[in-house]
Chains A and B, each alone.
Chain A
Amino acid sequence: QSVLTQPPSASGTPGQRVTISCSGSSSNIGNNYVYWYQQLPGTAPKLLIYRDNQRPSGVPDRFSGSKSGTSASLAISGLRSEDEADYYCAAWDDSLSGVLFGGGTKLTVL
């Protein structure tokens, strides 16, 4: 099964701003909304960003999403130790008629 392309790892120091990229194609990111999820160790994924750049209630505004063409990004500003987690992007794929996930990015807070 194809995946959206994310870097396997990212890192930053407390207070820094980090971005995680997600690359797809016209059948997924280019034509459908992008979602971002945070998965803390040993827990279920949690919705961080929906419909490209919308935050659910309760998600801090340190988290933001953007999209351009067939790529998307998640930005985390004011990095905190509790942000250390796996982050996944996702988008509906018209060819698959289902959701495609990125391979996941492990964020380390140094």
Chain B
Amino acid sequence: EVQLVQSGAEVKKPGESLKISCKGSGYRVTRFWIGWVRQMPGKGLEWMGIIYPGDSDTRYSPSFQGQVTISADKSISTAYLQWDSLEASDTAFYYCATVDGPGDSADSWGQGTLVTVSS
């Protein structure tokens, strides 16, 4: 069974850095890309980008290019989403999900990580 387990909730101050994780199991690490999706409080889903853990090929949504960094460690089947300097507007749930590849959408989803940025 494909399973994605995300790291726990985070509370940060504006200007701080953060890296959250998404660990996959139940499949060969080279089988899927991993996508990241943002959901701000009370709002809809927004696509942030995808990464292929096999070779770290990464594609960002224009809205998130330069705002976050998506990375992966193939050896431990884990993908990451990173901020260098958080803003209050980054407060949201962040979900990772498996994706067959560019051209497809999300399949299996992680449970989500709540990031709260507040002074």
Contacts from A to B (Cβ < 8 Å): 1, 3, 32-33, 35, 37, 44-47, 50, 56, 88, 90-92, 96-104
Query: Would A92 and B44 count as touching, CB distance under 8 A?
Result: no
15 more contacts with CB within 8 A, not counting A56-B107, A90-B105, A99-B47, are A1-B62, A1-B63, A33-B103, A33-B104, A37-B45, A44-B110, A44-B112, A45-B109, A47-B107, A47-B108, A50-B105, A98-B59, A101-B44, A104-B44, A104-B45
Which residues of chain B come closer than 8 Å to A91, judged between CB atoms?
A: 105
Contacting residue for B62 out of A33, A90, A96, A99, CB 8 A? A96
Considering the chains assembled together, what is the distance between the CA atoms of A46 and B112 in angstroms? 12
Which of B44, B49, B112 makes the CB contact (< 8 A) with A98?
B49
Interface size, chain B (Cβ < 8 Å): 25
Please measure, in the bound complex, the distance between the C-alpha atom of A32 and the C-alpha atom of B103, giving whole angstroms: 7
In the complex, are the beta carbons of A35 and B61 less than 8 A apart? no
The residues of A that contact B62 with a CB separation of less than 8 Å are 1, 96, 98
Q: Is B90 an interface residue (CB 8 A)?
A: no
Chain B residues positioned under 8 Å from A35 (CB to CB): 105-106
Q: Which residue of A lies closest to B61 (CB)?
A: A98
Closest to B110 in A: A44
Given contacts A100-B47, A101-B47, contact A44 B102 (CB under 8 A): no
Tell me the interface secondary structure of chain B in the complex. Answer: strand
Give the complex CA separation of A57 and B101 in angstroms: 20
A88–B47 alpha-carbon span in the complex (Å): 13
Q: A1 touching B45 by the CB < 8 A rule?
A: no
* Chain B residues in 8 Å Cβ range of A47: 106-109
Bound together, the chains give a CA A33 to CA B102 distance in angstroms of: 12
- Closest 8 A/B residue pairs (Cβ): A35-B105, A99-B47, A101-B45, A98-B61, A104-B44, A90-B105, A44-B109, A1-B63
